[in-house]
């Protein structure tokens, strides 16, 4: 055997906690493709009937609905509605999305990254059971196995429901276990499996509570990890032609302690492990990220954050985008600042700014995320980017402009100035600093521009600010 043993600087502590059995976070993912146009209403009615059998409440069961065809679309998040009646009304107003092809894999991946997260109302870190109910009426045109596997790793229990047009093999691959697959001849027959689904959902066990700690908190547990490794090695037969052992210590990057061919006896391995020194989890400062974070904090401090005035959202991106909190997550300045202070560098080498902008358009500038664009509230995006995008930004930037979003592009000397101008709502909205440490020099200019945006004349007319931070 060749055995690699890894120490992690930043850890997750698994701790049991008492959670009410009625607590579940349930996301319904509905097939809204062209093939389900005539059966979409029975699908929605099925969701309503299941909700009737749940114990809905902020501290009880929470429900969210996503519809998809080629692309997924959130109708409401887990923390959007707190009552059964509100959920009913929202489902009643659902419109069939339409479109092709059917990309179920993309929908599963999107749901994992955007719905089963704390900012969307998920209580996954508290050990509350996480349930995904997929209702699909066709064969997916993209890969479903990898996204399904990622859901299983996070202990998200997926139930796959299909009709006669769905692919049976795909349904089983997407389900948490084959037994979590349910089928009906037509979606008009969904009521025949309704009680079975509810029964299965109620039996989904709670997960251990997941708490994150700082690096200093890990040091007290490092000796326990060392003892574990020593005990394991003692049970092996370490020799050149028998078992070989290597040890790696890691956090944001990996550091090899010794290779598989370094030591040829158990005693040598154990002696080295005993002398291991905890390296800590301090992240390398690669792109101006502390400076960007500080800049966002200063901006938030200057805004009038309340539910009826300014609202702030923060997104970080590299290859893909990640929402740290939505426009309706926090309603006070202090809570917003706490959210910014808790930001951690995402990392990643490839920068897809075009995809990030499109993501913000589709997922942040929406009513369910707290946007008040339909009420005439100014929509503002502040983009901080330190490099040239690896994808095209033109289509996404144009779609934001069509939506009326005022985008300010802020870059450093590593940015593409022409790209920033194309991203910005107006060329005058493109700002640059020689280095992100110089961001304070453009702060006043940005604030003046934001405050100059015309707003409705009512005395309490609110404004909106969204911020998107690049990592590469």
- Do 148 and 228 belong to one domain? no
CA angle 73, 462, 406 (to 5 degrees): 60
**Residue at 113 is within a domain:** yes
Q: What is the pLDDT of residues 86-123, one digit of tens each?
A: 999 999 999 999 999 999 999 999 999 889 988 789 99
pLDDT beyond 60 at 431: yes
**Residue at 284 is within a domain:** no
Reported confidence tier of residue 335, pLDDT bands at 50, 70, 90: very high
Q: What is the pLDDT of residues 154-186, one digit of tens each?
A: 889 999 999 999 999 999 999 998 889 999 999
- Do 89 and 138 belong to one domain? yes
Last residue of a domain, one of 221, 242, 274: 274
Compute the Cα dihedral for 155, 72, 81, 35 and give only its sign.
negative
Contacts of 267 (CB under 8 A, 6+ apart): none
Contacts of 213 (CB under 8 A, 6+ apart): 10, 11, 13
- Do 10 and 42 belong to one domain? no
Last residue of a domain, one of 207, 239, 265: 207
CATH number (domain holding residue 243): 3.40.50.410
- Do 320 and 464 belong to one domain? yes
pTM (2 decimals)? 0.48
Supply the pLDDT for residue 454: 73
Q: Which residues pair with 15 in a beta bridge?
A: 209
pLDDT beyond 50 at 437: yes
- Do 152 and 128 belong to one domain? yes
Supply the pLDDT for residue 92: 94
Q: What is the pLDDT of residues 442-463, one digit of tens each?
A: 888 888 888 777 765 544 445 5
Supply the pLDDT for residue 1: 54
**Residue at 280 is within a domain:** no
**Residue at 303 is within a domain:** yes
- Do 29 and 171 belong to one domain? yes
**Residue at 6 is within a domain:** yes
**Closest C-alpha to 113, from 255, 297, 367, 324:** 324
- Do 240 and 184 belong to one domain? no
- Do 233 and 373 belong to one domain? no
- Do 148 and 270 belong to one domain? no
- Do 125 and 245 belong to one domain? no
**Residue at 46 is within a domain:** yes
- Do 128 and 176 belong to one domain? yes
Distance between CA atoms of residues 226 and 34, nearest Å: 57
pLDDT beyond 90 at 219: no
* Percent residues over pLDDT 70 in the chain: 86
- Do 173 and 317 belong to one domain? no
Give the chain's domain count.
3
**Residue at 82 is within a domain:** yes
Q: Which one-letter DSSP state was computed for residue 117? A: S
Last residue of a domain, one of 207, 223, 251: 207
Q: 219 or 138, which is more confident?
A: 138
Structural domain boundaries enclosing 91? 17-207
**Residue at 130 is within a domain:** yes
């Amino acid at each position: 055997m060749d055995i690699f043993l890894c120490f992690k600087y930043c850890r997750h502590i698994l701790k049991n906690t008492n959670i009410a059995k009625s607590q579940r976070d349930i996301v319904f993912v509905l097939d809204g493709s062209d093939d389900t146009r005539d059966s979409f209403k029975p699908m929605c009615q099925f969701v309503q009937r299941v909700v009737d059998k749940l114990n809905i409440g902020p501290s009880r069961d929470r429900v969210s609905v996503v519809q998809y065809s080629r692309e997924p679309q959130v109708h409401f998040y887990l923390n959007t509605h707190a009552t059964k009646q509100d959920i009913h009304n929202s489902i009643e107003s659902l419109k069939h999305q339409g479109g092709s092809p059917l990309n179920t894999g993309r929908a599963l991946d999107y749901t994992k990254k955007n719905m089963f997260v704390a900012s969307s109302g998920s209580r996954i870190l508290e050990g509350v059971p996480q349930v995904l109910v997929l209702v699909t009426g066709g064969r997916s045109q993209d890969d479903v196995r990898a996204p399904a596997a990622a859901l299983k790793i996070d202990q998200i229990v997926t139930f796959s429901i299909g009709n006669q047009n769905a692919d049976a093999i795909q349904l089983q691959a997407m389900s948490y276990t084959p037994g979590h697959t349910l089928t009906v001849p037509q979606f008009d027959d969904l009521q025949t499996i309704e009680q079975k689904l509810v029964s299965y959902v109620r039996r989904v066990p709670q997960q251990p509570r997941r708490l994150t700690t700082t690096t200093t908190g890990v040091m007290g547990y490092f000796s326990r990890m060392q003892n574990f490794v020593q005990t394991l090695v003692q049970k092996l037969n370490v020799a050149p032609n028998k078992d070989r052992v290597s040890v790696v210590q890691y956090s944001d990057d990996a550091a090899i302690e010794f290779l598989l061919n370094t030591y040829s006896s158990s005693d040598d391995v154990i002696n080295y492990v005993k002398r291991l020194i905890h390296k800590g989890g301090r992240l390398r400062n690669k792109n101006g990220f502390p400076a960007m974070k500080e800049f966002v904090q200063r901006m938030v401090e200057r805004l009038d954050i309340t539910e009826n005035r300014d609202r702030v959202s923060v997104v970080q991106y590299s290859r893909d985008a990640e929402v740290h909190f939505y426009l309706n997550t926090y309603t006070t300045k202090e809570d917003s600042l706490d959210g910014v202070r808790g930001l951690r560098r995402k990392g990643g080498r490839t920068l897809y700014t075009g995809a990030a902008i499109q993501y913000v358009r589709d997922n942040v500038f929406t009513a369910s995320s707290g946007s008040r664009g339909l009420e005439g509230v100014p929509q503002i995006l502040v983009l901080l980017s330190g490099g040239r995008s690896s994808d095209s930004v033109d289509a996404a930037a144009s779609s934001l402009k069509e939506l009326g979003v005022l985008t300010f592009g802020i870059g450093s000397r590593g940015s593409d100035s022409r790209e920033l101008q194309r991203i910005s709502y107006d060329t005058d909205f493109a700002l640059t600093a020689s280095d992100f440490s110089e961001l304070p020099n453009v702060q006043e200019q940005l604030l003046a521009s934001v405050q100059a945006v015309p707003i409705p004349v009512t005395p309490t007319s609110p404004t909106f600010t969204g911020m998107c931070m690049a990592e590469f």
